[in-house]
Amino acid sequence: MLFGVLLVTACGSSAPAPAQAPTAPRVAAAKPAVAPAGPLTTLKRTDVVSVVDAGFGNFLGRVEVEPSLDQGRFRGWTIVDLSPPAFWERVDLKPGDVVTSVNGLPIEREMDAWAAFESLKTANELDVSYYRAGAERKLAYPIVD
């Protein structure tokens, strides 16, 4: 997403004002940034680091999960909700998917999940293993500088 800030500062002086105010130059209006269509194919390292630096708690505020058990054993985390939708729109995850690992690392315990999250700062790829409708699936996104 592209954010822009325009700061205009006017300064006064003791010199006499011109008889006619100068004409301000025309500035073309910036076109709004449009996210590329289609599924996500790569991640920018700066974006990944920004998300990780914002904290694990902040990230967890974007995804609601509950434990998924199979015969009393932890299987993974069932995605209940993904928000805001714009953050997730190009990622092939949806409510009902059961995430089982990130970059091959376990995510059952809080410290495991936090370690997997933190490892993304230096990882070359983000791999997410999950189940959808009983079928094992995997997302793989190269992280590029």
Span 97-106, pLDDT tens digits: 999 999 999 9
Is the pLDDT at 93 greater than 90? The verdict is: yes
Question: Residue 4: phi, psi to the nearest 5?
Answer: -130, 150
Q: Where does the pLDDT of residue 36 fall: very low under 50, low under 70, confident under 90, or very high at 90 and above? A: low
Q: Which helix (H) or strand (E) holds 68?
A: strand 63-70
Please give the pLDDT value at position 27: 40
Query: Higher-confidence residue: 26 or 120?
Result: 120
pTM metric for this prediction = 0.71
The mean pLDDT of 30-37, rounded to a whole number, is 48
Q: By three-state DSSP, how is residue 51 classified?
A: helix
The mean pLDDT of 28-42, rounded to a whole number, is 57
Q: Which helix (H) or strand (E) holds 76?
A: strand 73-82
Mean per-residue pLDDT of the chain = 79
Q: By three-state DSSP, how is residue 67 classified?
A: strand
Phi-psi region of 45 (alpha: psi -120 to 50; beta: other; left: phi over 0): alpha
Q: Is residue 117 part of a domain?
A: yes
Domain span at residue 112 reads 43-144
Over the stretch 7-33, which tens digit does the pLDDT of each residue have? 222 233 333 333 444 443 344 444 444
Q: Is 102 within 8 Å of 139 (Cβ atoms)?
A: no
Over the stretch 54-74, which tens digit does the pLDDT of each residue have? 999 999 899 999 999 999 999
CATH number of domain containing 56: 2.30.42.10
Q: Is residue 107 part of a domain?
A: yes
For residues 6 and 17, give the distance between their C-alpha atoms in angstroms, rounded to a whole number: 26
Q: Is residue 69 part of a domain?
A: yes
The mean pLDDT of 114-136, rounded to a whole number, is 95
Q: How many CB atoms lie within 10 A of CB 98?
A: 21
Nearest 5°: CA angle at 59, between 62 and 63? 30
For residues 88 and 98, give the distance between their C-alpha atoms in angstroms, rounded to a whole number: 16
Q: How many structural domains is the chain composed of?
A: 1
